[in-house]
Structure 1
């Protein structure tokens, strides 16, 4: 009761400024908006680690020394980073998802387990994963040759060399670029609204389609994404400071 009174007072206090936040007083609309905030946060928490894992896998294939594998991976990287995320999402959800659904029906499976939410996670993770891969590839190539020679002298295989020497060092070298990519990824999750995933952008669109409060909701969306990207930036800077190696990047 006290919270509702405080919220009502805050809404009334903002009215003289021209900002109409009366939708917050409606329990259903307020609940939908809060759920949208949660879905956006959930998308970020899932796509960040998935994109990093995709980037590591792609970087490993690019630098594997296997020319056919590296060639196929290079083609995937070039196509993915040269086309818009929204177009990729539409192609995945409207085309690939339909083909999968048809195939599942032929096998006697009535429902497709790949929901719009999952498609957003997959597409955004892969799209940003190729940028992570390029940053990591540059980091792998920046590992001093003397370090690699010393590791080879210990009898490490190519895979051990990559997993125990090159990737750990590459992650440190590429960390500033990776953090920048993650910040961009957080903003990229807004494309989820294009296929009706109930993130904060989609829920806001549903609300302002019933009310004349586009500006008010856009301000809240900007603040929410600003908060998320700021948190990622702060965490990234602290991680960079913690993992900084003397003699590199100083």
Structure 2
């Protein structure tokens, strides 16, 4: 009952300002909108770790010194960062997804949902950006540190794991945070393949209510809040991981 009263009060107060949020008082449209918020948060929560994990893997391949590892990853990175995310998503969903459907004997047997393709495409797109940032950080690690680790008997993999990647991550953290902010914004491409994230849900509502301005205000505030929190978290991590004398001050 309290929720109903609060919603009615909000709708009444905003209507006095000339804003139309009457749909919040209807069960169906309000539920679509709430589900859109939840789906966007799910997308962000799943896609961020995907981008970070694959960003590290790609960076390791690019700096491995092995052509059979670096060449295909370099080709993927160049293709991914040089083409629009929306084009990549449409290609994946209309071409690769169709191939998977045919492989499994029809769309009804396809195990890959539109949600999966948004996570995969956006996650790998941002992973390519992370990879370049981390690669630059790895290559910036002083050779004296690498030689010292080698002199202590570290293998090439151990040098990468215990010396280069920790230092590279610290140096590339600002670029990684920028990539994560871009990732959050890129989740909106999901509306192109009918993933019911918040922009898709908002379009569903405003086509019936003609309240584009009202919903756009909320969308701008919603994404601004998420990215503000990511930026603040990134700044906190930078301070915690700072190494005096190495790129970031204490």
Q: Taking structure 2 as the reference length, what is the TM-score of the superposition? A: 0.96
> What is the CA–CA distance in structure 1 between the aligned matches of 2:54 and 2:93, rounded to whole Å?
20
Task: Show the counterpart of 2:46.
Answer: 46
1:201 paired to 2:205: no
Rounded to whole Å, the distance in 2 between the matches of 1:10 and 1:132 is 42
2:132 matched to which residue of 1?
134
**Range moving further from structure 2, 170-179 or 2-11:** 2-11
Aligned with 1:232 (options 222, 230, 233): 230
Partner in structure 2 of residue 180 of structure 1: 178
1:32, 1:192 → 2: CA distance? Answer: 15
Q: Please, which runs of 5 or more residues in structure 2 have no aligned partner?
A: none
Give 1:119 deviation, angstroms. 0.5
State the secondary structure of the residue aligned to 1:209: helix
Count of aligned positions? 248
User: 2-side partners of 1:110 and 1:204: how far apart?
Assistant: 28
Query: Would you identify which runs of 4 or more consecutive aligned residues in structure 1 move more than 6 Å?
Result: none
Aligned to 1:64: 64
- How big is the shift at 1:180? 0.9
Q: Name the residue aligned to 2:160.
A: 162
Compute the displacement of 1:110 (Å): 5.2
Question: In the alignment, which residue of structure 2 is the partner of 1:17?
Answer: 17
- Structure 1 residue runs of 5 or longer lacking an equivalent are none
Q: Deviations along 1:155-210, whole A, 9 cap, x unmatched?
A: 21111111111111111111111011111111111111110001001111111111
> Which of 227, 230, 242 is matched with 1:244 structurally?
242
Look up the match of 2:8.
8
Whole-angstrom CA distance in 2 between matches of 1:201 and 1:110: 27
Q: Which moved more, 1:2-11 or 1:121-130?
A: 2-11
Structure 2 residue matching 1:74: 3-state secondary structure = helix
* Aligned partner (choices 105, 112, 115) of residue 114 of structure 1: 112
1:116 CA displacement: 0.2
Query: C-alpha offsets along residues 44-79 of structure 1, whole Å, 9 cap, x if unaligned?
Result: 000001000110010011000012321221111111
- Two-structure CA RMSD over aligned residues (Å): 1.2
**Structure 2 Cα separation of the partners of residues 23 and 163 of structure 1:** 53
